[in-house]
Structure 1
Amino acid sequence: MNDQAIEQEIQDKQLTSPRLSPEHIDDMIIAGSYHVFPGTTVTVCCLTLRNGTKLVGTNYGAIDPKQHDWDRGKQEAYNEAREQVWQLEGYLLRQRLHEQQGNIRGGS
């Protein structure tokens, strides 16, 4: 299921708790750069977030470089790095909610 389908399902169910959205995740990303290691099909994507954090995603591509789809390799490396943004932003949201409940010092 892609981001748009998940978002539609959440809206259809009228779920209203604080949450992250695909737009929020994309807004956190300010730059992306790619590197393909010479002689390989290994593609690396490095995303830079608003606060300067760098996240890396990789795609190992096809066994035969002649069969490798470079655009797909870049997209899959990007997707892997973007998934890490969800994890970090999810942690931050959970921490904010935890603190709002008066649990400033930790615990459950």
Structure 2
Amino acid sequence: MNDQQIEQEIQAKGLTAPRVTPADIEANIASEHYFTAGNGRDGDGAISIGDDRFGAKTGVALSLLTFCVLVLRNGFTVTGESACASPENFDAELGRKIARQNAISKVWPLMGYALKERLAADAQ
């Protein structure tokens, strides 16, 4: 069951207490950034440590690891990753979607905590 399906079920059951919704999550994202580990390795200021005994295999491996960085409205960053085991199955768009979904899954508890803090303050 995905986030949208869960949201539909919550609405269908008439659950109306304060909560974090998928729309809240999306509204809290200021920007999103995608790159592979290979992009990061090749970027300015990148540092590689250790002997590269796998040579070209390392480059291939790094090109199969996709990162998504979500910058939230308050400036906090959350990351998600997607790794592909077989180079033949690598699809950049799919990797970005999976990495984003993994980053989104880290935003839920952060926003849930912030909501609980607000509710607790209002109850005092």
**Same fold per superposition (TM over 0.5):** yes
Distance 1:4 1:60 in 2: 24
Does residue 49 (structure 1) correspond to residue 81 (structure 2)? The answer is no
Q: CA RMSD in A?
A: 1.1
Partner of 1:101: 123
* Correspondence for 1:25: 25
Cross-structure match for 1:105 = none
Please give the secondary structure, in 2, of the residue aligned with 1:59: strand
Note the residue ranges of structure 2 that are not aligned, 5 or more in a row: 39-59
Alpha-carbon distance, 1:69 to partner? 2.0
Bigger helix fraction: 2
Per-residue deviation, 1:66: 2.0
Q: Which amino acid aligns with 1:90?
A: G
Take 1:101 and 1:82, find their aligned partners in 2: how far apart are those partners?
29
Q: Which runs of 4+ in 1 moved over 4 A?
A: none
**TM-score of the pair, normalised by structure 1:** 0.87
Q: Secondary structure at the match of 2:16?
A: coil
What is the identity, as a one-letter code, of the residue corresponding to 1:42?
L
2:86 is matched with: 64
- Other structure's SS at 1:56 match: strand
CA distance in 1, matches of 2:81, 2:4: 23
Please give the alpha-carbon distance, in whole angstroms, between the structure 1 residues aligned to 2:4 and 2:77.
25
Number of residue pairs aligned between Structure 1 and Structure 2 = 101
Higher radius of gyration, 1 or 2: 2
Structure 1 runs not aligned, ≥5 long:
103-108
Query: Which structure is richer in relative contact order (CA contacts within 8 A, separation 6 or more)?
Result: 2
- The one-character-per-residue Cα deviations of 1:25-75 (angstroms, maximum 9, x if unpaired) are 0000011111112222111111101111111111111x2212212211111
C-alpha distance in 1 between matches for 2:82 and 2:93: 11
Q: Distance in 2 between matches of 1:91 and 1:3?
A: 18
Q: CA deviation at 1:90?
A: 0.3
